[in-house]
Amino acid sequence: MTSRPSQQHDTLPEDDAPEAIDPDAATTADRARAVGRGLGSSARVTARGAVGMARATGRASRYVGRQARRAADAEGAAESGLNRLIYMHFFNTAGDAAVAISLAGSLFFQVPSGEARGQVALFLGLTMLPFAIVAPLLGPFLDRFSHGRRWAIGATMATRAFLAWALAGALAGGDSPWLFAAALGVLVSSKAYGVTRAAAVPRLLPDGFTLVKANGRVSLSGIVGATVSAPIAALASFAGPQWSLRYAFVLFVVATVCAIRLPVQVDSSVGEGELVLLGHASAARPGRRPRTRIPAAVAYALRANCGPRFLTGFLLMFMAFLLRENPPQSSLSAQVLTGLVVGAAGLGNGAGVALASALKRIDPARTVVVVLVVDSALALVATVFYGVLPLVLLGLAAGLTQTLAKFCLDSTIQRDIPARVQASAFARSDTTLQFAWVIGGFIGIALPLSPAQLGLGVAATVVTAWTAFVVLGTRPTR
């Protein structure tokens, strides 16, 4: 009997028993609260750091923007309107860089090589050759109409904006024929822009400016535009190649607005003459401009420029498929190899702009021969020693020599052609160089990819033969 109360006491419900404090549970709760406070403090510190970094980036961006505008407006460029052309060229090359980055990993690396080469050759023939034939008539045609040249430049921008947006949709849908049509349309519009812009630069020269200096400043803005735009386009391409194309669409729209806002003197051809590559000079007639025969020195520089331009067109078309189907022995992927060669060409382009400042101390007639010899030698080295380093050096040389040779041509035009004919001279010379680029591109598509030395050997032979033709031909007289 005495044991029952004790038994009932032992079997009381736990809810009725007094709660005991668990030291481990209390310690865990304190730790959780401490961790929460730490996370909150870290989040606040991170937020303040992000805000500070954003402010610093904004200040740096505004500073860089002010310095860029100051450089573009310097030495009378703001008064003459050259700064507007510089801004336009910045957005033009930024858009071209975005398109190139988007297509590098989506167009040539997704379509079978044989099908891609055939489509590239077809669309190159359907689009580039008609443009090259009609382009010599474009300058005189636009000179007869008010506001023609500004709208022609703007049309090349607007066309690329439309095609970039169409390309973005085509990439999402996987319609490869339209992909190549739109991609080569962008390329053709870019070449057309080069011709129309070449005739605009002489009309916007500030007092005391030379054409070489003006073209150098415009080219430098293009290099800066591509350098700034490439990382942004690469980040956008991680979300899909169509996003970098939409980014390019925005850039081309801005460039279109910049083209329309160019000064009105871009359209004016009052007091100017016309340069003819073939035919005879003639005096001015009613309703017609006077015609001037191309000087021997300018013809010499123009012939020499055709060699580097041919090599650039060849390498663009040939390397796009060679590095994919028959790359050199290395552990690098085809995309990385393509990026190295293209990056080397871009670096060479920038180096050529930097070296252009030395043109006042060297003879342009000799420089164009030197760049031809360099192209021939490195093309031969890449043929004999087919590898990653020779190809990168060839890409570097192609970018350097094309830019430097073009500055030599600009310098010769500035020196030997009267000011009233220089706008026509730039339009005619750029059109001729497009022919050389097209021929190089066609040969690059037509040649077999295996063995690789065959195609590179053909390029080396053509450039070497052209060098001999230029050197052994009639030397210009100063």
Q: What is the pLDDT of residues 422-451, one digit of tens each?
A: 666 777 787 788 788 888 888 888 888 888
Question: Which residue is associated with the tokens 């736990």?
Answer: 14
pLDDT > 70? residue 95:
yes
Furthest C-alpha separation in the chain: 142
Q: What is the pLDDT of residues 171-199, one digit of tens each?
A: 766 555 667 677 777 877 887 787 778 77
The larger pLDDT score, comparing residue 279 to residue 368, is at: 368
Q: What is the pLDDT of residues 447-475, one digit of tens each?
A: 888 888 898 999 999 999 999 999 887 65
Q: What is the pLDDT of residues 296-354, one digit of tens each?
A: 888 899 999 999 999 998 988 888 788 877 888 888 877 788 778 888 888 888 788 77
From 466, 458, 304, select the one nearest 382 (Cα to Cα). 458
For residue 175, which phi and psi values (nearest 5 degrees)?
-85, 90
DSSP class of residue 451 equals S
Please state which of the ranges 16-20, 231-235, 274-278, 473-477 shows the lowest mean pLDDT: 16-20
Mean pLDDT of the region 215-223 = 82
Whether the pTM exceeds 0.95: the reply is no
For residue 19, which phi and psi values (nearest 5 degrees)?
-75, 135
Q: pLDDT band for position 15 (50/70/90)? A: very low
The larger pLDDT score, comparing residue 2 to residue 381, is at: 381
From 376, 383, 379, 374, select the one nearest 328 (Cα to Cα). 383
What is the pLDDT of the chain when averaged over all its residues? Answer: 74
- All structural domains of the chain: 80-270 (1.20.1250.20), 283-478 (1.20.1250.20)
d(CA 441, CA 60): 42
